[in-house]
Amino acid sequence: MAPPTPPKLSRANTSTTDPKQPPDSVSPARDTPSDHAPLELLKNSSRGATSSKDSYHLASKAAGETEHLEAIERTKSLLLALPRKLRDMIYAYAAASDGISYHWSHINPSDGRFEISLPNLCLANRQLYTEATLPYIRFEFFHVNNGARAFSNWLGQFSDNEGFAAMRHLRVTTSDHKANIDLAVRCSNLRTLGLAFAEDAKALIPFDTFLERLQLHRLFDLEKLEHMYLRRNEGVTS
């Protein structure tokens, strides 16, 4: 007796491969999206098709983001990793909200040292000292007591006269009139200037002589000056 013929199996029971595909390839299930499906859709869709120029911009953007992240890793500082323009906005905001007037006075007149009162942000490191100090100079009212020359030297350490250009509000109470005016006229963007003089209130001198001693005529070069105050050292307004 001949052995029974084995039943024929349907294609669904024998293989899940597509006969049009090579034997070693597998067609993805219709209800399971492929990892490359979005890319294929972009390639095949007229709306999603990207030109080589767009691809270049995308690659450039990705490279820029990578470089930015690497900069953060190198500096270990989120603040210094920001673009300079954004950092300047932060410095200006911090300076405007501080609202502190800094008083400068000599510690040792023999060697010209004087007290420096700056926010901690400016003293964190050399880069922040250079970048953050200028916005503070713009927003603060500086009182220079017996140290006009030393203060002028300090402003001169910033390149391109940026220190002098940043000064907006200044009061000088030293008796060295020439040093006072020398400092003031270099601050071309001054808005407010207070000058204290040590002339004897009881001495009667011609007004022209008084003006010549103070060299006030040099202040006409300060085109942006809005307010100027003259005071004796005793605090009496003249």
* pLDDT tens digits for range 184-202: 999 999 999 998 876 555 5
* pLDDT value of position 38: 44
Same domain, 174 and 137: yes
Whether 48 is in a domain gets the answer: no
Q: Give Cα separations from 203 to 111, 155, 195, 199, 229 (angstroms).
A: 33, 35, 19, 8, 21
Same domain, 121 and 196: yes
Centre a 10 Å sphere on the Cβ of residue 190 and count the other Cβ atoms it contains.
Answer: 24
Q: Which domain holds residue 78?
A: 53-82
Same domain, 195 and 149: yes
Which residues contact residue 150 at a Cβ distance below 8 angstroms, ignoring those fewer than 6 apart?
106, 112, 113, 114
Residues of the chain with pLDDT under 50: 9-17, 19-50, 107, 235-238
Whether 3 is in a domain gets the answer: no
* pLDDT value of position 166: 95
Instruction: State how many domains the chain has.
Output: 2
* pLDDT value of position 237: 40
Whether 38 is in a domain gets the answer: no
Same domain, 78 and 141: no
Same domain, 61 and 127: no
| pTM of model > 0.85 | no
Torsion from C-alpha of 221, 224, 225, 226, nearest 10 degrees: 150
* pLDDT value of position 48: 46
Centre a 10 Å sphere on the Cβ of residue 107 and count the other Cβ atoms it contains.
Answer: 12
* pLDDT value of position 196: 82
